[in-house]
Every structure is written in C-alpha cells, then in structure tokens.
Amino acid sequence: MGFVSCTMVSQKTMEAFADNPVIAHRGAWKSNQLPENSIASLKKAIELNCTGSEFDVRMTQDHVLIVTHDATYNDLIVEETTYAELSKHKLPNGETLPTLKQYVIAGMENNSSTGLVCEIKPSKVEGRNIEIAKRVVKQVKELKAESYILSYISFSYEILKKVKELDVHAKTQYLDGSKTPEQLKKDGISGLDYILYKLKKRPEWIQEAKASGLSLNAWVANKTEDIDWLIANAFNYITTDEPELVFERLIKSPLQNGYELVWSDEFNYKGKPESAKWGYDYGFINNEEKQYFTDSLKNVRVENGHLIIEAHKEKIANKDYKSEAFKNKSWLHYVPKIDSAQYTSARLKTDGLASWKYGRIEVRAKLPKGVGLWPAIWMLGENRKQVGWPESGEIDIMEHVGFNADSIFGTIHTKAFNHMIGTERGKTIFIEKPYDSFHVFALEWTPDKMDFILDDVVYNHIENEHKTTAEWPFDQKFHLILNVSVGGMLGGQKGIDNSVFPQQMLVDYVRVYQKN
C-alpha cells in the first residue's frame, strides 16, 4: 500500500510506509480521548503503525503555519490572529497549539512507518493559497522531511498543482470529489481522497482510478459496513477516526485469505435492480408456495442504498391457470389449478448473467418477519436444465422461516443428500434480531469443503468426500438467487399470519470473492 520515497537528500528518511491502508484522521485521537491534530494523537497513530496520520495546516496573520482544523481556534479567526495570541490557549491535554515545524519534527521521531498526510486548508483571501503552499513545501524541505510526507491533500486544486510544481516527487490527493480520475491523471494529481458517499454514487471511478494508476482514498470511514466496503474494493487508503476498528476489519476481510472481489452489487442507485446483474422468475415456481413472483416495483426495487424484496397480501391472476405446460412436471401439479394467487413477491437471480465456481459469497441482509414468510439466499448449478434437480446441486446459504424466528439454516441438496428423501445436509444457528438488524450471511466454497457463515461464525462445515457427483456436484458454476416466499412446504408448515403484510427483505450488498 505504501511506496518508497525517491527523495534521498535527508540524513534521516522514511524507507517505506506501513503495509496497511489505515490513515488516522487528525491522528489516533478518538478511542484514546486525545485532542484532534495534537502531537499526542500523532504519536498514537505511529504507535498503532498506521500507514499514515492526517493533519490540517492553516496560516496565521503573521504567517506562522499551525496545525488546526477549523478556521477559528478558541473563537479567534486564525487568519486574523497572530500565533502568539492563538498559542496562549492550550489544547485540552495541555499541549501548546503546534506549529507545522513542531508537528513534523515530532512525526520524524521514533517513526519508521507512519507517513504524514498533510492537508493544506484553502483560504478565501486572494493569493493566500499559493503563499501557504509555498511555505508548507519550503518548511518540509528545510526539515529534510520529504520522505515522511505520504501525501499532500487539499480541497483546493490550485494548492495541489502548486505543491506539485514545487516538488515533482510530492504525492497529491484531491479532496473535493468534483474531478474525474481522468482529469486528475491529466493534471498530474497522484490520487483522489473523496468523501464516501460520492464514491458510492460513482463506483465506476474506483476502477477508472486503478486503471489510471491513481491512489484511492476515502473519508471518513467510521462504520463497519463502510470500512468493509472500502477494504473489499481494495482502496489504497482508508481515512478514519477509528483506526483500531479498521485494523480489526482488515483481519476479518476475505482479502486477508487471498480473495479478491470479482462481482458485487452495493445497491447505491434507485429503481429497478440493474438488468446487467439481475433477472427474474415469474409466477408460481415450486414447493407449493403461495406467492406469485413478479418484477413489479411494488415487489422489488432499490432505494436508500438497499435492495428491497417485498411480499404483499394481494390477489393477482395466475397466467398459467389451466395451462397444459405442467402436465409432465409433477412438482408443479398445483400451478394450473389456481386461478388467482393471494400473495405477491419477487425472486431475483443471476442465471445467464453471472455464475461462479468456488469462492466466498457474502450477502448482508435484514429479514422479513412473520409466520408464513420464507426468505432465502441460495444457489443452483448451471447444469440443472441438462441433469435436473437435485443432481445439479443446490446450496442454501441462508434460509429462514417465520415460525422459527431465532434460527437460520445452511444446507446443501444433492442426489444423495436432499429433503425429498430426508438426507439433506444442513445445520441451524441461533440468530438474534434477524428482523431488527442486518447480518452477513456467507458461504466459503472450495474444491474440498463448504463453510456456512453467519456474522463471521462458521456454523456448518461440509467436507467433499471425493466420491461421486451424487454426493458432490459442486465442481461447476452456480448462480445466485434471492427471494422471499410465502407459505409452501417449509415456510407454510405453521400457516400464514396475514396480519403481518407487507414484509420486506432488505439487502445491503451482495459480494462475490474468488482466489486467482
């Protein structure tokens, strides 16, 4: 994640930055109850071995460069006040308001891996941006600290271009989020450091930045789900007030085990699910379920960052009523007998669009509530049309039934192991609040085994016994299915509570990782 500085003029140099993406935002202050932008918080970031520690630079009325975030300090306007006046007011831990010189010197002491991320704050005074850029670069050069600067960052494009002019080796990252990777590359800016929501709205910029050789950073990532998203997308840097949490999530990331993200939907858009990623099943499908699957926005849509699959109690005509097409399909004998369904829902699938052989499949979701509901996250083998079910195999990453509110099932079905003959191989895990909070349901699948995982806990481990495809038809590609069913052979065993409708399964993301 780091780089070796090209600057060799200093007697003391940073040989390489730490091999992690963690940038402590204004130092590692939060969990240690230290002042932001203090030397103490910088030292803590160094102690944690963060790859970088970010800090903010402003210039006083008498042209002293100081480290502070806001345009005011202790109710004094920084640009209109001398350093002598400002420094009378100590930081909450008793430190004197640090100058840039003091801060950089502190950052060079007993530090072999944490780079300094210098944010130069823009001024509204004409000409002052250029002046502060000149003074910052000059100060760094006088201290022979160039190799300790991981990057210069700013909301001012003018400042960054001036920094690059003054030091051709300097790394720069733009903060504003208004420039495309193509524009940054054209103007010689080294990378982008954009607020999270802008990158989520424009995920294509991630790959464009990587393709252009730009560094990727994002601020400020303090929530587990945001941190995990940045890790999954292999960001070079993650700017955070919670560096300890980022280190924890790095340890748990699939990337630590050699995986890389190959397919995902984060649902950071609105309307229909992306047609390039998802298709639909329609009507009555199987298991004597009572819902009629549609692609109506009422039943399936994306909004507020989530995929919503919503089941309704409503009457809808059955297009297959009295159809002759089901004569030779014994498992669908009931379909042509029903003139109208009493429930609607949706079933999404990647069939024909994306399928995978081995990998880690993760879905973060919140489940629907009520007796009679049967949500599922599962996979079917690509050769199902050729050999049929269960010979093609089925992987139930997550099944839940409303009458068993505190349990999740993870199961495989094959010719030798399936529920039709009572030999399916599955296990159950207890789950707290599946309706009130999101959980991560995952499968790790290799040629030798499958692990079914709930929130990082493996609860079902199935070994490949290397017999026949009757036991293990899982050495082929499988596609993914997400649905909410109503009633049916499993979901309807205790009836259907019609008072609970409508009910939703909310999906925060779907991610597929594979190893090279």
Catalogue the active-site residues.
394, 399
Helix ranges, 454-494 (H) = 488-491
HEC letters along 397-442: EEECCCCCCCEEEEEEECCCCCCCCCCCEEEEEECCCCCCCCEEEE
Evaluate whether 163 touches 122 at the Cβ level (below 8 Å): no
Residue 238 phi, psi dihedral angles, 5° rounding: -130, 110
Specify the DSSP class assigned to residue 27.
S
How far apart CA 117 and CA 286 sit, in angstroms, is 57
State the Cα torsion 127-130-134-139 to the nearest 10°: 80
How far apart CA 93 and CA 147 sit, in angstroms, is 29
The strand pairing partners of 507, in sequence order, are 307, 365
CA neighbor of 41 nearest in space, from 119, 100, 95? 95
Give the N- to C-terminal CA distance of the chain in Å, as an integer: 20
- Per the structure block, which two tokens stand in for 492? 């309807």
CA neighbor of 6 nearest in space, from 255, 190, 230? 190
How far apart CA 108 and CA 100 sit, in angstroms, is 12
Evaluate whether 395 touches 369 at the Cβ level (below 8 Å): no
Evaluate whether 215 touches 151 at the Cβ level (below 8 Å): yes
How far apart CA 161 and CA 153 sit, in angstroms, is 11
Sign of the Cα torsion 218, 222, 226, 227 reads positive
